[in-house]
């Protein structure tokens, strides 16, 4: 008797818009069951409906990743509905733009809770389930900012450096359990967060011509252009579904050469 194939499940945080949404759509198009996790209920539910248009069994899970219990509750909700979790993609992020000498405790707290503590706790929680299943994959979205000196974006840059460290630590801790942990560092792409962030940086730096400011930033990219959510999501999907199982603790730079190391 033919044993039916297991229908695999992916959980994406920050999935209501931008890169997270595109990842969900591409995974849904490949027949994966999708868990859309976000704080934005309306946009999150819309993403779920769009995934369902591909025939994907998709659910929305509301989560506040600043809370202590948020990551565990998110994974529990996914397991309650689907009973398994094959891939976790930590895409949610908080970005604060402020002059270095005017940084606030609250901005640092929000950034570190969402960008660092959430990833650590969500990874550990998901890994416990993946160990029971015999394996899984975890992908963290990092940033070229983790390797740059960005005085008006210090909290975000520092948090992404922490994501790089967490990725390596988790990969080593979970390698023997057949759980691969890798990351993707997207280049400049015009997501809602990116658009808002660059406008704020331009203001802080006294740049009144936003288009000229963006053109200068784009010119720094060796490829000569910005990327798209679809292009970056394709790399994330490859790591989730197609990358060899011997690949772990790696960072894919999808940055057009901006991050050259």
Average pLDDT over residues 15-38: 98
Residue 260 above 80 pLDDT?
no
Q: Cα separation of 197 and 96, whole Å?
A: 8
pLDDT tens figures, 134-190? 999 999 999 999 999 999 999 999 999 999 999 999 999 999 999 999 999 999 998
Residue 3 above 70 pLDDT?
no
CA angle 74, 19, 255 (to 5 degrees): 130
Percentage, residues of the chain above pLDDT 90: 93
- What is the DSSP code (8-state) at residue 254? E
Q: What is the pLDDT of residue 4?
A: 53
User: pTM of the full predicted structure?
Assistant: 0.95
pLDDT tens figures, 235-251? 999 999 999 999 999 99
- Average pLDDT in the chain: 95
Residue 15 above 50 pLDDT?
yes
pLDDT tens figures, 90-113? 999 999 999 999 999 999 999 999
Domains detected in the chain: 9-188+227-254 (3.40.50.720)
Average pLDDT over residues 24-52: 98
pLDDT band at 60 (very low <50, low <70, confident <90, very high): very high
Element (H, E) at 138: strand 136-141
Cα 59 to chain center, whole Å?
18
Average pLDDT over residues 8-12: 98
As beta bridge partners, residue 184 has 141, 252
As beta bridge partners, residue 189 has 227
Q: Which has the closest alpha carbon to 73: 85, 59, 61?
A: 61
Asked whether 183 and 252 are in contact (CB, 8 A), the reply is: yes
Q: What is the pLDDT of residue 261?
A: 61
Q: Is 258 helix (H, G, I), strand (E, B) or coil?
A: coil
Average pLDDT over residues 217-230: 95
């Amino acid at each position: 008797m033919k044993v039916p194939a297991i229908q695999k499940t992916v959980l994406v945080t920050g999935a209501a818009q931008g890169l997270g949404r595109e990842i969900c759509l591409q995974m849904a198009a490949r027949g994966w069951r999708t868990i859309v996790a976000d704080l934005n209920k309306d946009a999150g539910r819309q993403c779920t409906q769009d995934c369902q248009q591909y025939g994907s069994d998709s659910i929305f899970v509301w989560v506040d990743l600043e809370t202590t219990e948020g990551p565990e509750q998110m994974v529990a909700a996914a397991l309650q509905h689907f009973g398994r979790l094959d891939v976790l993609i930590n895409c949610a992020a908080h970005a604060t733009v402020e002059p270095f000498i005017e940084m606030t405790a609250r901005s640092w707290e929000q950034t570190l809770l969402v960008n660092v503590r959430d990833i650590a706790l969500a990874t550990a929680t998901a890994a416990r389930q993946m160990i029971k299943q015999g394996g899984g994959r975890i992908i963290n979205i990092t940033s070229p900012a983790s390797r740059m000196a960005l005085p008006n974006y210090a909290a975000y840059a520092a948090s992404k450096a922490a994501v790089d460290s967490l990725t390596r630590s988790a990969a080593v801790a979970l390698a023997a359990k057949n759980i691969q942990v890798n990351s993707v560092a997207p280049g400049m792409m015009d997501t809602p967060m990116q658009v808002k962030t660059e406008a704020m940086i331009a203001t802080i730096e006294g740049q009144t011509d936003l288009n000229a400011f963006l053109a200068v930033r784009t010119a720094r990219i060796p490829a000569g252009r910005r990327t798209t959510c679809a292009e970056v999501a394709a790399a994330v999907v490859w790591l989730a579904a197609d990358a060899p199982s011997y690949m772990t603790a790696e960072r894919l730079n999808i940055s057009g050469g901006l991050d050259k190391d």
